[in-house]
Structure 1
């Protein structure tokens, strides 16, 4: 979507308005003196004291106008120039101004820096994400194309065996299933990036749904009371099903969930008895498309989707510990209203 453009027409600069207003105010005593001299028919010559007073008023007016221009116009023009530089791709332009002038301009500048930083980070994220998606789609598409070409070019004089044909067909089916899983994950990630809708879900309902969805896991709710989470049912389903699937794919047979109310936030701890996460992978588990199960069909997007969706609802997730006894995650959410 193209950004709307401000209608082009002449507008006075801020400095001109400041000087014009102050000079107009300064003219009031001058006009007053002239008025009284005309009314009283006084001598046309002005006393030296009057001339000195008007000169002092003029000088003070110009000084005030300069101060106002220095504290308002200069930082605003610098902020405009900084915006143009960032728009041209200058990451180095995201730095504090040299002069702020007033508290309001300083606050505006800080808000601008925060917004510019987020926009640049988001742009880098989109660029990196697009590269990852292209790479992930290219592998199965290349495999499908190769298998299809071999089937198409099968020579009638020396046809491939039924076993070979079935193997190629099975490869095509497996790759299409991988593409379907990847596209499904992308749809979930798109939902996570959208502005969140408010809602709440009972932890008991979440556990009951997980028990139906993952019958291979023994899922238990260790909470002392029924907890209401500040998540709409759809978002809660996506978040906890991804975590449960991650536990199951890592060899877990049990999954314990415990929620507790801690003032203005709700903390949920999830612990499984799976194989754990290798030390070298702990810092990468939330990276998009990072997976240790790629040969088994893993997309590496599950935990990334969980983190993005929690962030859109004001929450967060972190890895507490992981070892031979299993893995523990902690989710923090604001309290449900």
Structure 2
């Protein structure tokens, strides 16, 4: 969810509030001394003394009000909001009515951003758990069914060698699919752990891809020497997944084109494969969506790539290629 924004306006720094309060407290006895010296003490009356005490009391109350409104009040409101959000109250992710000081306003915006990310993360984990359970259920059900049929094989109607071999092949195939799913899950967990950022350029990426896919044409153009902040391991996973998807879908070449956009590097990854149909363009980043499921595809490669890039301040989107094949845009920060 998009975090609500604190309304921008001028607010006094907390230091100004604190110093103003301290100076007001220090000024009280000074004002009293000056007033008593300027007034003939012999001519003071009880009403004058009461008036002086009331003036001091009013100033003290004013100081207390300023402190409560600008510091204590917003801090207590943030405490209440944090308790509500901790107990699932999403409605509490809203700006406060008053912030008082610049520091509390900044803290509140950070709090809103963090709360929004936590809610998004919670929804992602819930959805991802449902997808994982669904993906694991199918091969497990197939394995159990084949095992039960083989267990219940009796002497009256014995299972033929061809049937037994078919059931065993199904069990082996589903076991391999489970192993692949678990490996992808480990990659995803690894992708969500930020690694120390290295300095890597498109030439380095191209060299790694050529070593990994020696039978395909991989080229690089544009500002290929521009470095971006991405660990070598992460770059190998991200670009390797894109290359593997391309070559599995009929591509024979992969082109990397690099541009710079302010503090970021933009890497266009274009292949000449079968491309992505309009019906699938909105689904390719969904976890476990795959057009090659019957050939062992898990549908987690792009999700792993996006998660790994996000953990390093980058992003990946599907481009609108005007030629055959698919086009992806990877954005990564420059060091």
User: Taking structure 2 as the reference length, what is the TM-score of the superposition?
Assistant: 0.84
Contact 1:315 1:332 (C-alpha < 8 Å) held by counterparts: yes
Distance in 1 between residues matched to 2:69 and 2:199, nearest whole Å = 51
CA distance in 2, matches of 1:226, 1:30: 70
Partners of 1:75 and 1:24 in 2: how far apart?
Answer: 23
Partner of 2:297: 298
2:15 maps to none
* Separation in 1, partners of 2:31, 2:100: 31
Q: How does 1:83-94 map to 2 (within 5 A)?
A: 83-94=82-93
Cα-to-partner distance string for 1:38-82 (whole Å, 9 max, x where unaligned): xxxx75964644542332122122122112212222222211111
Asked if residue 245 in structure 1 is aligned to residue 244 in structure 2, the reply is yes
- DSSP 3-state at the match of 2:255: strand
Counterpart Cα distance in 1 of 2:247 and 2:261: 29
CA separation of 1:23 and 1:324: change in aligned 2, threshold 3 A: closer
Q: Which has the higher contact order (CA 8 A, sep 6+)?
A: 2
CA 1:192–1:124: 2 relative to 1, 3 Å: same
In structure 2, what is the equivalent of residue 17 of structure 1? none
Q: Distance in 2 between matches of 1:234 and 1:30?
A: 70
Which residue number in structure 2 is paired with residue 213 of structure 1?
Answer: 212
The 8 Å contact of residues 310 and 317 in structure 1, kept in 2 or not, is answered as: yes
Which stretch shows the higher mean deviation, 226-235 or 324-333? 226-235
State which drifts further: 115-124 or 219-228. Answer: 219-228
Partner residue, 1:13: none
**How many residue pairs align between the two structures?**
316
Q: Which residue of 1 aligns with 2:281?
A: 282
What residue is the counterpart of 1:140 in the other structure? Answer: 139
Q: Matched residues in 1 for 2:322 and 2:305: separation?
A: 21
Distance in 1 separating the partners of 2:108 and 2:232: 39
Unaligned runs of 5+ in 2: 1-20
Distance verdict in 2 for CA 1:188–1:284, change over 3 Å: same
Residues 253, 273 of structure 1: 8 Å contact kept: yes
Query: Which residue is equivalent to 2:9?
Result: none
* Contact map agreement 2:28 2:56 (CA 8 A) in 1: no
CA contact (8 A) 1:100 1:106 kept: yes
Computed over aligned residues only, the root mean square deviation of the Cα atoms, in angstroms, reads 3.1
Superimposed CA distance per residue, residues 215-250 of structure 1 (whole angstroms, 9 cap, x where no aligned partner): 443222234654444222211111111001111222
Determine helix, strand or coil for the equivalent of 1:154. coil
Flag the 1:97–1:202 CA change in 2: closer, same or farther, 3 A: closer
Q: Indicate the residue corresponding to 2:163 in structure 1.
A: 164
Corresponding residue of 2:121 = 122
TM-score of the superposed pair, with normalisation by structure 1: 0.83
Q: CA deviation at 1:284?
A: 1.9
Runs of at least 5 residues in structure 1 that lack an aligned partner in the other structure: 1-19, 37-41
2: CA distance, partners of 1:234 / 1:145 = 38
